[in-house]
Every structure is written in structure tokens, then in C-alpha cells.
Amino acid sequence: MKIYYCRDLRQEKSLHSLAYLLLEEALKREYPGLAFDQPVSYGKKPMGKPYLVDYPEIFFNISHCPRCVACVLGTAEVGIDVERRFEWKNNLASRICHEAEWAELEHRPEAEKKDGLNLLWSWKESYMKMLGTGIRSDLRKVDFSGMLREALAEESRRCCRDKKKNFYYNLQTEEFTLVCCGREKLTGMIEVPHLL
């Protein structure tokens, strides 16, 4: 799987439109022999996850926030989430965290709590997007406490695996957290300098 992302967002287009523009740029780069110079046809799966009508063997997902747009391409189901960084708040954490995750975070310094909560949110959203469900279930039922412990112990850790053998690739900046989830290893993370 390969991630593309862009931070230079021109505000004359919606973030959603920019994310699809980035996706189409990624498709042209990754599949130069396919007809991605024509308008791309998208369909929706039963739970709403988009797919490429003419190329169902190419899996993708998009995400956006005010600081970044991102997409991921793969040969199996993938999910991606990018979120503007947010502060630790007990009431938010209580709606996101499994009890084991809460126990892992509650006594840590504020900066680690913030990093951990941002990662947990994006791990969970990218996982549910990979499954094709989106956030339709209780986030507290998904337990990433083992991955969380490892990620916080090794601050530069950018790859984690869950108990189901899914890969999670993380990028945290001062402005945003980006996470993709899939069953394949990452083959690249490409920052596109700007979109047309």
C-alpha cells in the first residue's frame, strides 16, 4: 500500500474535492498504463465506502482535515484517517478509549496523553474505514492498548500491527495525525507539494 498526502491546500476547492484530486494524481502516478486521464467513475459499497467502478482490483481510501488531504492505494482493502491534532480531554477520551487504553494513558504526562489519544482516534477510524463500516460502532470496544504502549515507548515508531495482523502506519506532525491501515506493508509515503 502507498500513501499520498498534501499539506499545501488551496482554499478555492472543498477539502473533499482536494482529496479526490489527490487520489486521481496518485492513480495516474501509480498506474500510468490505465486510463486515469479520463474522468474516474466511482461507486459506493453497501455501507458507503467508495470504489473504482472500472478498476475494482485497486483499493483506495481518502481523508481530509483543514491541514492535510490524504489517500492510500492498495491491492486489498485499506483505510486512512488524517485529523487536525487535538488536546487531551477526559470526556473525549472516555468516548474513544477501551478501558485498557484508558489505563495505559491516564497516568502519563499530558504530551503523551495527547499523542496517544490522537493516535487512538486515527487508528480506530482508519481500521473501521478499512472494514468499510466507517464509525458506526462504539469505539471503546476496539482495544489497541498493546499498540499504544509500544508506540508511546518508542516515540519515533511509525509502524504497528494489531492482533489481527493489520499494519498501521503513523505520521504525527505539530498540525495533524495521519494513519493508514491495511493488510499489506507500506511501499511508500509521498508528500505531493501542491495540488492544482
pTM of the model: 0.93
Question: pLDDT digits over 15-29, tens only?
Answer: 999 999 999 999 999
Q: Which residue has the cell 485498557?
A: 100
Least confident stretch, 97-101, 159-163, 177-181, 190-194: 159-163
Architecture in CATH for domain 2-191? Alpha-Beta Complex (3.90)
Please state, in angstroms and as integers, the Cα–Cα distance from residue 16 to each residue in 71, 95, 137, following that order: 11, 26, 23
pLDDT band (50, 70, 90) for residue 116:
very high
The domain limits of the chain are 2-191
- Residue 96 Cα to chain centre, angstroms: 16
Is there a contact between 170 and 176 (Cβ–Cβ < 8 Å)? no
